[in-house]
Amino acid sequence: MTSAAASFVSATVTERPLLHFTPPKAWMNDPNGLVYFDGEYHLFYQYYPDGLEWGPMHWGHAVSTNLIDWQHLEIALFPDDNGMCFSGSAIVDYNDTSGLFNGESGLLLFYTAHRVTGDGHDDYEQDQCIAFSSDKGRSWQKYAGNPVIPVPGFRDFRDPKVIWHAASQHWIMALACGQLIRFYRSENLLDWTLCSEFGAAEGAHTKGPWECPDLFELPVDGGQGSRWVLIVGVGAGEDSWGSFTQYFIGDFDGIHFHNENEPDRVLLMDQSRDFYAVQSWSDTPDNRRVAIAWVNNWLYANKIPENGWRGMMTVPREIRLVSTEDGVRIGQRFVAELDECSYRQHKTIVAETRRQGTHIDLATAQSINKPLRGLLTLKMEKDSRVALYLSQTQQPDLIFQLDEMGVAMHYQRSGQNGCEAFDRYFPFSVHLPVTDGSDSVSLEWISDNGCLELLVNDGLYSLTALQLCHSAAEGHHAAKMVVENGEVLIEKSETRIPD
């Protein structure tokens, strides 16, 4: 929740989501600089305050004590003679390693300065810069010695992610460089040395550049040691379904990242269209790995409907590692702070069977036009097919069916507010394998104004999608499930409306 969407009334009138972060006005894209310091979660973001399409990039800024309720602060970074302020990260310099805080602790932002050098689309250069704050992030000063890593001789060189690597006792920076990731190291946060490169022959490559890296270590559920995770955004290319997010599982020794999967194995953080520029918070007090993403796709981001603002983030999610038959994989769940919200109503269904041509309301009529949070567990016979109307409109948000290989899911929404680019690129189908032979499917979901988030089978799969369906002419009804083929047992359904 943000100050601009603090109640159901304001959320309905402004068509803002209640549970998803949005900018105070104008354009927003990538989350940046996620850090926890002195009781506050900081969320920075790519921001153009003077327009509703992408423009000269600033860093917007908000803080929260609980990851749900956000307070907008003043813009943190403005473009200057060195260029626009592209994406990056933040850390707490607890020991004044940088020497910028007179022996005290402070916050450091690492960002890419993007300079236009000509009139052509490819006429630009990029280098890496620092800004710092001694007052809990309320004001920022750019480092006089910028750039800390100058232009390397090629164009795409951006989005620094800085972490502390305890084993090597060095600061590490991961940078997206064309179609690969470069790793740098430093002892003082100001002077950086190139260590290695990763990814030239690994994972997914399209005509779009790699972007927005993230790097962290996590334990594997069940006491099976730990792994390092490298997250990489893949920019929109004409040869792909737009911008998407992949990840790698392996080991990082402070110099090299080693992928433990086959080089051509592509692991996706989200199987839908609208989940990009993922970043995680550093220095969280409970050692959770909490991440957030931009809910959009560069194929249509500038064209979707707006109402004085454009862009939203996902609900924060906790990232964990789980062991599967195919190896270690990322699992996701909505942050526990959502459970601490006040819920005004809920509807629970247990052990009810529905056959072809029947439906069941998943929420009460009073839920129409309200954000919903739900949990749905189904036992499905082979070839049964279900349509979910979670955004409470006349078109299904999702159709899925069970076959011998798993669950096939189809997003087919079209004709939403006249966005031609969305109609062209958004509809898609995805097949999610069920590796344990189960005939049960579990969905944890959030339907908010403009966004649907689904976590499938305990978060092993994620599907995040825009819902461009605010039009009053479209008509609304309570969230429901329709059985289009076969027979389905609703083992449990629980739907709640947050206050």
Domain ranges of the chain: 3-336, 343-498
pLDDT by position in tens, the chain (length 499): 554 333 222 333 347 888 999 999 999 999 999 999 999 999 999 999 999 999 999 999 999 999 999 999 999 999 999 999 999 999 999 999 999 999 999 999 999 999 998 988 788 999 999 999 999 999 999 999 999 999 988 889 999 999 999 999 999 999 999 999 999 999 999 999 999 999 999 999 998 899 999 999 999 997 789 999 999 999 976 666 789 999 999 999 999 999 999 999 999 999 998 999 999 999 999 999 999 999 999 988 998 888 899 999 999 999 999 999 899 999 999 999 998 887 777 788 888 898 899 988 887 766 666 788 999 999 988 888 899 888 766 778 888 888 777 788 887 665 555 566 666 766 777 888 865 566 888 999 998 888 899 999 999 999 998 887 544 444 455 788 899 999 999 999 988 887 7
Topology (CATH level 3) of domain 343-498: Jelly Rolls (2.60.120)
Angle at 274 between CA 272 and CA 279, to 5 degrees: 110
Residues 6+ apart with CB under 8 A from 470: 15, 305, 417, 449, 450
| Sheet strands side by side (includes 106-116) | 84-93, 106-116, 124-133, 141-142
Q: Which of 30, 270, 274, 397 is catalytic?
A: 30
Look up 339 and say whether it is catalytic.
no
3-class secondary-structure state, position 304: coil
Angle at 197 between CA 191 and CA 203, to 5 degrees: 140
Architecture label for domain 3-336: 5 Propeller (2.115)
Identify the H or E element spanning 409: strand 406-411
CA neighbor of 228 nearest in space, from 321, 316, 317, 164: 321
CA atoms of 324 and 322, how far apart (whole Å): 6
